[in-house]
Amino acid sequence: MQSIYLDNAATTPMDPEVVKAMQESMLDNFGNPSSIHQFGRKAKVAIETARKNIAKHFNVSANEIYFTAGGTEADNLVLNNAVENLEVKRIITSKIEHHAVLHTVEALQNKYGIEVFYVKLDEFGQVDLNDLESLLKQTDAKTLVSLMMVNNEIGNILPVNDVCSLCKKYNTLFHSDTVQVIGHYNIDLKKTPIDFIVASAHKFHGPKGVGFFYSKKEHSLRPMFFGGGQEKGVRASTENVHAIIGMEKALTISYENLEKDKEYVSSLKSYFIENLEDNFVFNGMSGDVEKSTYTVLNVRFPIVDKMLLFNLDLAGVSVSGGSACQSGANKGSHVLKELLLKDDAEKSSVRFSFSKYNSVEELNLVLEKLKKII
164 labelled catalytic: no
Cα–Cα distance for residue pair 344/121, rounded to 1 Å = 17
SS3 category, 295: coil
Among 69, 224, 289, 325, the one annotated catalytic: 325
Q: CA of 84: how far to CAs of 81, 154, 231, in Å?
A: 5, 32, 19
C-alpha distances out from residue 192 to 64, 65, 133, 160, Å: 15, 16, 18, 8
Instruction: Reduce the DSSP state of residue 96 to 3 states and report it.
Output: coil
What HEC string does 300-368 produce?
ECCCCCCCHHHHHHHCCEECECCCHHHHHHCCCCHHHHHHCCHHHHHCCEEEEECCCCCCHHHHHHHHH
Q: How far apart are CA 214 and CA 208, in angstroms?
A: 19
**Type of residue numbered 246:** G
Neighbouring residues of 68: CB distance < 8 A, sequence distance ≥ 6: 74, 77, 198, 210, 211, 212, 213, 235
**Strand duo 211-215 + 65-68: pairing:** antiparallel
CA pair distance 217, 227, nearest whole angstrom = 23
Contact 194, 58 (CB under 8 A): no
Q: Judge whether 101 and 177 are in contact, CB under 8 Å.
A: yes
The Cα 166–Cα 185 span in angstroms is 22
Question: For 319-344, b where at least 16 C-beta lie within 10 A, e where not — what string?
Answer: bbbbbeebeeeeebbbbbbebbeeee
Distance CA 116, CA 21 (A): 43
Residues designated as active site: 325
